[in-house]
Amino acid sequence: MEWLFIFGLAGLVAMLWSRLDKLERRLTALDELQDVAIGQLRDLHRRGIAPPRPPEEDRPLATEPAPEVAPEPAPAPKRVTVPSVSLRRSDGESIRIEPPVPEPSAPETEPEPASAPLRERFQFDFEEIFGRRLPIWAGGVTLAVAGVFLVKYSIERGLITPLLRVIMAFVFGGGLIAGAEAAYRYRDRVADPRVAQALAGAGLATLYAGFYLAGTQYGLIGQGFAFLGLAAVTAGAIALSFRFGLPSAVLGLVGGFAAPALVGGEEANIPLLALYLGLVTGGLTFAGREQRREWMGIAALIGGLGWGAILLLAGDPGVSEIIALGLYFTVLGVLVPAFAASERFEVPIRLAAALVASVQLALLVDQGGYSMLAWGLYLLLGATLAFFGWKQPQMREGNAVAATVALLLVGMWPVQNGLEYFAVTAALTGVFALAPLVHVWRNEERTIDLLQVALVPAAMAALAYGEFGDFFADRIEVTLAAVTLALGAIPAVAAWRIWQRGKDATLAIELCVAALLAMCAIWMVSPAWLAPLAAGLVFAALFVLLRDRSELELRALVWGSAVLTALALFGLDALDIEIARLAGDPDPSLALRSMLRWAAPAAAFVVLAWHEGEKVGRQLAEGTATVFVYGALAQVLPGDALAWTAAALAGGSAFGLPDRPVARYVSIAIALLWSVDPATRWIGTGVVSLFGEPVYVDALPSLRQTALYIIPAIAGLAVLRGQAREWQGIAWRGEWLAALPALVALHIGFKQLFAIETVSAFVEQGMAERTLWESLLLAAGWILSTRFAWAGRLLIAAALAHFLLYSGLLHNPLWDRQAVGATPIANLILAAYAIAVAASLLLHGAFPDRLRPWLDGLVVTLVSFGALTLLRQAFAGNIPMEAAMTQTEDLLRSLLGILLAIGFLLLGSRRVERSWRVGSLVLMVLAVAKVFIVDAAGLEGLLRIASFMALGFSLIGIGWLYSRQLRATPTGV
């Protein structure tokens, strides 16, 4: 304890030194200002005051000519009469300025130079600091040190007994205080208040030491008497601080809170100690307020609350300790901050004090076993805060802090008696929710009051259900429902009172909490599957109440209730079954009940879509409502009808609600989702066919799947009814997108005609199937091009591409086993190549001039390959690739090439198109190469001679014919 006392004195000295330094700087500044004032007064006394300037309005304007008047002699300057004043410096120097004595007029003399500037007077004065300021405090410290050494010397020599030491300490302390009083009474002669302060501080410190020595060190008096003595010294220090100022106040602060530690025993009397600490804290706070020392009240609060934490460490309090500590925390948390004078830190101090006191009282309630007495003391704290909040609105935040701590404490309460729980929570609700509601009722509310009215009942309801309810059991809980409904009435009343006050955000909060509690109350008395319907009832009530309000916060509340209606679907274990029904699960259990559940959010969003005025909100509500309407229907309809249900919704919204496009788009999207699986199978089969695999009918979706899933997508896209758009100069509409799934459905249906399922069937019927499909595409494109040219050309191009890829490349009869028919010429080869050539010619006009020669080259290639294939079929039969090639056929190939070259040359000459002539030359070059490379090596005898003779005459004829055509052709063609 000696070290505690020493550390306290050290802190006191440090604080006093800091404040002394600040005081010295202020006194120095005042002295310098006094010097400046004295200098100015001397100048005025020496020179007098010049006559005042005439006001602006009395002067003549610059534009008016001034009359010439003879100059008058300037009057003698008036002398200023300065009264006799005495300026006394703090060190006793006195300067007296006498009034001036009238003197006869004399010639004016030059004025004396002005006094030195102010900044030149600010200088370090060694004599001022070390001669006038420091010696007093140094003397006090020196006397204290001398007294310590004197006492130490006397103790070591055995000259002074313990009793005499204590008596001398009391006498010396009292003498020092008496000396301080004398210095105060004769302060005019002493001329320095620090003398009295130093003596009073030394005297109080000596008295503290005396009682400490008497009670703790020497045991001359009991601990109780020593404690009372220290308390008396503390009271004296507080009283003397009004007379002697800071040192006494600091000693009272340090000594007052150190006294219990200095004389503390093993068995502390907590009620008496709490009373003492309360009085010390209150006295110091009062003294700080009266003396305008904010720090003093703050320090007293910190010390008092710190001692409260120490007292709680004792643990296991009895009834008297609970009462004493509860009252102590209430005083320090509410009363003392209310009387502390701190304008700058008023709100933080009150909040901090309320928080610390609430936490300490909560710990006391926990230590007291959550007894009714401990709870009553906490309620006393809350009631006191509520009372002061009534008188001083700025203190209501402290009540909110205590409410927060109380809710946390209730959450940790191990409840054993339901009646006690009900009584405590009802009282807490009254203090922390109904009291703020009164402010709302009287139109005196602050924002914190509205938040308490909303949040405290909500938290109480949640805590009560967490304690006595069961989230996982579907049972009827009437009592909890009644309590929850009663708690919801509190924010509902508040919302009614602030309905037209313009507080939209807080009104939304109050209504939100009231609606949530009402919804929870309904849930507690209804089966779990009815949760969406209960939420729908609350949504309906909010919508009727707020349908005419346009504030953003209130609209958000209505939307939030609709969203909560949808989220209420997740409160049932059977939700996974309901979601499975959306995808066509045939489980019929609970179908009607599930439909009612999904109908609740559907109805909520339908109402929002009908009432919402903002475009984005209306469209969002439309789309969401469509999803839930489909979900409700999916609970009772068979899975095979769901895709058509989505298509029907799309059609109904297209024709019944043409100005609600989002509902139509969402319905079409649902229908398209149903077509994803069959469309994916079709696309996958088509991708595999690109690698030469046949497309078998059993790999494609069935006709049933097409009718149930793809055709509804077609129907949905057909009623898309989007605005006409233009791309690359081509006008198109959204519903034309239905042509894509329609083409898929037609292809699946067409594949059923041949029903190719095996490799042998593909060999026999593959060429016929492809040729027929290409002819259908070509015919449809030709018919469609009469009205929609670009669409018809797409189908014609599709027919040509299909032939080139499958019949021309992957499954060409020249190198793949494909049956083309046994009849020469009149077979599938002629039909297939005729379709391809016709498609190429029909597309001729769609290409720009620079690309048309390439298309002509394609026609030349197709005709050439077609002729070669027909020649091969004539020698090989139904499957051209199976028979070996004879020399005759090979010779006829060369001849055929020459004939085709001549034919293309004649056609090019007739059409005056160079591309055909170039094609003729290419074909002729290939024929020549074949004769010289292939025929010369493979033929013998007359056949070789005939081949070369035919080639020779042909070349001569072609050359002659080509030269005539060139001469007849105009330049540039």
Q: Three-class SS string for 525-549?
A: CCCHHHHHHHHHHHHHHHHHHHCCC
Residue 710 has what DSSP assignment?
Answer: I
Name the packing angle between helices 591-611 and 552-567 (round to 10°): 170
What is the structure's pLDDT at 603?
A: 96
List C-alpha distances in Å: 519 to 409, 496, 514, 542, 749.
Answer: 26, 18, 9, 12, 54
Query: Measured between alpha carbons, how far is 379 from 370 in angstroms, rounded to an integer?
Result: 13
Judge if 192 and 243 occupy the same domain: yes
Element (H, E) at 94: strand 94-97
**Which of residues 387, 410, 433 is at a domain's end?**
410
Closest to 920 measured CA to CA, from 838, 849, 864: 864
Residue 4 counted as domain residue: yes
Closest to 791 measured CA to CA, from 733, 855, 717, 724: 733
**In which band, very low, low, confident or very high, does the pLDDT at 814 lie, cut at 50, 70 and 90?**
very high
What is the structure's pLDDT at 113?
A: 43
**Which of residues 410, 445, 462 is at a domain's end?**
410
Query: Measured between alpha carbons, how far is 417 from 426 in angstroms, rounded to an integer?
Result: 14
Please answer whether residues 787 and 823 qualify as being in contact, where contact means their C-beta atoms are separated by less than 8 angstroms.
no
**In which band, very low, low, confident or very high, does the pLDDT at 234 lie, cut at 50, 70 and 90?**
low
Residue 677 counted as domain residue: no
**In which band, very low, low, confident or very high, does the pLDDT at 469 lie, cut at 50, 70 and 90?**
confident
Instruction: Give 697's contacts (C-beta < 8 A, 6+ positions apart).
Output: 751, 752, 754, 755, 756, 757
Residue 218 counted as domain residue: yes
Judge if 235 and 331 occupy the same domain: no
β-bridge pairing 85-88 and 725-727: unpaired
- The sign of the dihedral angle between the CA atoms of 414, 417, 422, 428 is negative
What is the structure's pLDDT at 641?
A: 92
Token couple for 434? 């109904």
Q: What is the DSSP string of 114-138?
A: PPPPHHHH----HHIIIIIIHHHHH
Q: Provide mean pLDDT across the span 581-602.
A: 84
List C-alpha distances in Å: 798 to 216, 603, 685, 688, 746.
Answer: 111, 47, 18, 18, 14
Judge if 374 and 323 occupy the same domain: yes
What is the structure's pLDDT at 61?
A: 42
Judge if 146 and 259 occupy the same domain: yes
pLDDT tens, position by position, 98-157: 444 444 444 444 444 444 444 444 444 545 554 555 555 555 555 555 555 655 666 666
Residue 85 counted as domain residue: no
Please answer whether residues 78 and 51 qualify as being in contact, where contact means their C-beta atoms are separated by less than 8 angstroms.
yes
Judge if 150 and 252 occupy the same domain: yes
What is the structure's pLDDT at 951?
A: 62
Residue 587 counted as domain residue: no
Q: Provide mean pLDDT across the span 309-324.
A: 74
Please answer whether residues 767 and 813 qualify as being in contact, where contact means their C-beta atoms are separated by less than 8 angstroms.
yes
246 against 486, higher pLDDT = 486
Closest to 256 measured CA to CA, from 239, 234, 272: 234
34 against 708, higher pLDDT = 708
55 against 887, higher pLDDT = 887
Query: Measured between alpha carbons, how far is 712 from 66 in angstroms, rounded to an integer?
Result: 107
Element (H, E) at 902: helix 887-911
Residue 106 counted as domain residue: no
- The sign of the dihedral angle between the CA atoms of 536, 538, 541, 546 is negative
Q: Of 189-203, 477-491, 717-731, 853-867, which range is least confident?
A: 189-203
Give the CA dihedral 615, 618, 620, 622, nearest 10 degrees.
-130
List C-alpha distances in Å: 218 to 161, 210, 214.
Answer: 10, 10, 5
Judge if 334 and 243 occupy the same domain: no
Measured in degrees and rounded to the nearest 5, phi and psi for residue 98 equal -85, 155
Instruction: Give 814's contacts (C-beta < 8 A, 6+ positions apart).
Output: 865, 868, 869, 872, 880, 881
Query: Measured between alpha carbons, how far is 829 from 867 in angstroms, rounded to an integer?
Result: 9
Instruction: Give 878's contacts (C-beta < 8 A, 6+ positions apart).
Output: 819, 820, 821, 822
Chain position carrying tokens 């460490």:
313
The pLDDT of residue 9 is above 60: no
The amino acid sitting at 549 is: R
Query: Measured between alpha carbons, how far is 45 from 932 in angstroms, rounded to an integer?
Result: 140
Q: Provide mean pLDDT across the span 193-206.
A: 60
- Angle, CA of 933, 938 and 939, to the nearest 5°: 110
Name the packing angle between helices 552-567 and 531-546 (round to 10°): 170
Judge if 249 and 357 occupy the same domain: no
Instruction: Give 23's contacts (C-beta < 8 A, 6+ positions apart).
Output: none
What is the structure's pLDDT at 119?
A: 42
The pLDDT of residue 477 is above 60: yes
Question: In 728-771, where do the E strands start and end?
Answer: 730-732
The pLDDT of residue 344 is above 70: no
Chain position carrying tokens 């927060």:
404
Q: Provide mean pLDDT across the span 631-646.
A: 92
Report how many helices (DSSP H) and strands (DSSP E) the chain contains, helices first: 40, 4
- Angle, CA of 528, 470 and 375, to the nearest 5°: 140
Judge if 406 and 319 occupy the same domain: yes
Q: What is the mean pLDDT of the chain?
A: 76
pLDDT tens, position by position, 642-691: 999 999 999 999 888 888 889 999 999 999 999 999 999 999 999 999 99
Neighbours of 223 (CB within 10 A): 17
Instruction: Say whether pTM exceeds 0.85.
Output: no
Neighbours of 300 (CB within 10 A): 29
Please answer whether residues 227 and 181 qualify as being in contact, where contact means their C-beta atoms are separated by less than 8 angstroms.
no
Q: Is 727 helix (H, G, I), strand (E, B) or coil?
A: strand
Residue 665 counted as domain residue: no
Closest to 517 measured CA to CA, from 482, 546, 548: 482
Closest to 10 measured CA to CA, from 18, 192, 237: 18
Element (H, E) at 87: strand 85-88
Query: Measured between alpha carbons, how far is 520 from 540 in angstroms, rounded to an integer?
Result: 15
Query: Measured between alpha carbons, how far is 360 from 441 in angstroms, rounded to an integer?
Result: 32
Q: Provide mean pLDDT across the span 873-893.
A: 85
374 against 13, higher pLDDT = 374
**In which band, very low, low, confident or very high, does the pLDDT at 835 lie, cut at 50, 70 and 90?**
very high
Please answer whether residues 748 and 703 qualify as being in contact, where contact means their C-beta atoms are separated by less than 8 angstroms.
yes
What is the structure's pLDDT at 374?
A: 87
What is the structure's pLDDT at 665?
A: 93
Judge if 177 and 263 occupy the same domain: yes
Closest to 328 measured CA to CA, from 386, 273, 388: 273
Instruction: Give 210's contacts (C-beta < 8 A, 6+ positions apart).
Output: 166, 169, 170, 173, 229
Q: Is 725 helix (H, G, I), strand (E, B) or coil?
A: strand
Judge if 240 and 323 occupy the same domain: no
Closest to 394 measured CA to CA, from 458, 347, 451, 431: 347
Judge if 263 and 308 occupy the same domain: no
Instruction: Give 939's contacts (C-beta < 8 A, 6+ positions apart).
Output: 887, 890, 891, 947
Element (H, E) at 97: strand 94-97
Name the packing angle between helices 396-411 and 418-429 (round to 10°): 160
> Distance from first CA to last CA of the chain, Å, rounded?
123
**In which band, very low, low, confident or very high, does the pLDDT at 208 lie, cut at 50, 70 and 90?**
low
Q: What is the DSSP string of 775-814?
A: HHHHHHHHHHTTT-HHHHHHHHHHHHHHIIIIIIIIT-TT
**In which band, very low, low, confident or very high, does the pLDDT at 626 lie, cut at 50, 70 and 90?**
very high
Rg (CA), the chain: 55
**In which band, very low, low, confident or very high, does the pLDDT at 416 lie, cut at 50, 70 and 90?**
confident
Residue 745 counted as domain residue: no
Q: Provide mean pLDDT across the span 513-542.
A: 93
Judge if 344 and 396 occupy the same domain: yes
What is the structure's pLDDT at 136?
A: 56
Alpha helices in 48-76 (DSSP H): none
Q: Provide mean pLDDT across the span 934-952.
A: 62
Total domains, the chain: 2
**Which of residues 355, 384, 410 is at a domain's end?**
410
Q: Is 771 exposed, middle or buried (0-12, 13-18, 19+ CB in 10 A)?
A: buried
pLDDT tens, position by position, 66-80: 444 444 444 444 444
Domain range holding 400? 297-410
558 against 882, higher pLDDT = 558
